[in-house]
Amino acid sequence: MKVLLANPRGFCAGVNMAIECLDEAIRRVGAGIYVYHEIVHNKYVVERFTKQGVKFVNSMDEVPVGGILLFSAHGVSPEIRKVARERKLQTVDATCPLVTKVHLEAIRYANQGYNILLIGHEGHDEVIGTMGEAPESITLVETPEDVGKLPFATTDKLAYLTQTTLSVDEATAVINALRSRYPQIDSPKKEDICYATTNRQDAVKALVESADVLIVLGSQNSSNSRRLMEIGASRGVPSYLVDGADELKRDWFEEAETVVVTAGASAPEVVVRECIEFLQINFSAEVSEETLREENVHFATPRELMTLKPAGS
């Protein structure tokens, strides 16, 4: 068996920054740290922090007054920030700067009187946070078919934004439908889909043509990881999204000569290595690292980490 190990893969700069934030917060104050939603959408990462005493919450009521709260990489709405202030919480904002960019674009367009069409997936943490910036001005659009149901006219002031972790092909299909129906629609000068999402998708597209099986390391609720799996599946390649080597099944590989392995932007390298080890032990796999693009992006951790103190001190 030959294994083509896609590069870039795994952690992006935003995920790295969020994890560094939480690691540093633990180092500074120890226990008693809360995170609003999962810090990133990855089971391995969340379980690691849970074992260190971090509590992941879905309601602000779960955070004690005066407590310490991190906002996850996916961002939060102004309403959540308001509640945090009212509860006198020490907050650390681990929102990915590329998500913050979309929030700022939403605010700018809303202030200028635009109706904003947000291309994304309903219920995703990032989408919820972005829509919360200007709920009266934003309409969610998930598919090209949704475009035909929109109530706007060609004379209306419209702009579109996108969730950062979408499939490039998926977003392009919706954008083309929007531009076809609304030639006047505006958009940011720089696209919203993040560099890491695009790079990982491009790597899979390039490698999967010669693959018998595609393995994507990532969690089921990770949007960007799921998009990688869908790229393989759309090309007729058996494609599997797994959290780790313990989910791999031998019969997936019995007839496989070439396997492509990659990881979503929130999946740590350790799970990739465990997957490779499984294939080496069971199928004498020879691994070839396939680098299609170099990434050198780094985001600094937020300044509020420097003033963080143990709750109640």
Domains, the chain: 2-11+195-291 (3.40.1010.20), 13-95+299-307 (3.40.50.11270), 98-181 (3.40.1010.20)
Share of the chain above pLDDT 70, in %: 99
Let me know how long the chain is: 313
Place of tokens 């879905």: 58
Share of the chain above pLDDT 90, in %: 98
What pLDDT was estimated at residue 209? Answer: 94
Q: Coil, strand, or helix at residue 242? A: strand
The reply to whether omega before 310 is within 30° of 0 (cis) is: no
CA dist 38 and 226 (Å) reads 17
Q: ∠268-233-269 over CA atoms, to 5°?
A: 10
Q: Which residues contact 249 (CB under 8 A, 6 or more apart)?
A: none
Confidence grade of residue 237 (pLDDT, cut at 50, 70, 90): very high
Confidence grade of residue 31 (pLDDT, cut at 50, 70, 90): confident
What pLDDT was estimated at residue 313? Answer: 67
Asked if residue 199 lies in contact with residue 293, where contact means CB atoms within 8 angstroms, the answer is yes
Amino acid making up residue 218:
G
Among candidate residues 44, 42, 80, the one with its CA nearest the CA of residue 62? 80
**How much is the average pLDDT of 152-157?**
97
Asked if residue 194 lies in contact with residue 134, where contact means CB atoms within 8 angstroms, the answer is no
What pLDDT was estimated at residue 311? Answer: 81
Rg (CA), the chain: 21
Residue 27: Cβ-neighbour burial (10 angstroms; 0-12, 13-18, 19+): exposed
What is the model's pTM? 0.93
CA dist 50 and 236 (Å) reads 38
Write down the catalytic residue from 38, 105, 126, 170: 126
The reply to whether 277 belongs to the active site is no
Instruction: Tell me the pLDDT tens digit for each residue of 66-101.
Output: 999 999 999 999 999 999 999 999 999 999 999 999
Q: For residue 90, give both structure tokens.
A: 């020490």
Q: For residue 102, give both structure tokens.
A: 């979309």
**CA 301, 304, 307, 309 torsion-angle sign:** negative
Number of H helices and E strands in the chain, helices first, is: 10, 12
Q: Which residues contact 80 (CB under 8 A, 6 or more apart)?
A: 36, 60, 71, 129, 132
Question: How distant is the alpha carbon of residue 122 from its chain centre?
Answer: 14
CA dist 210 and 198 (Å) reads 20
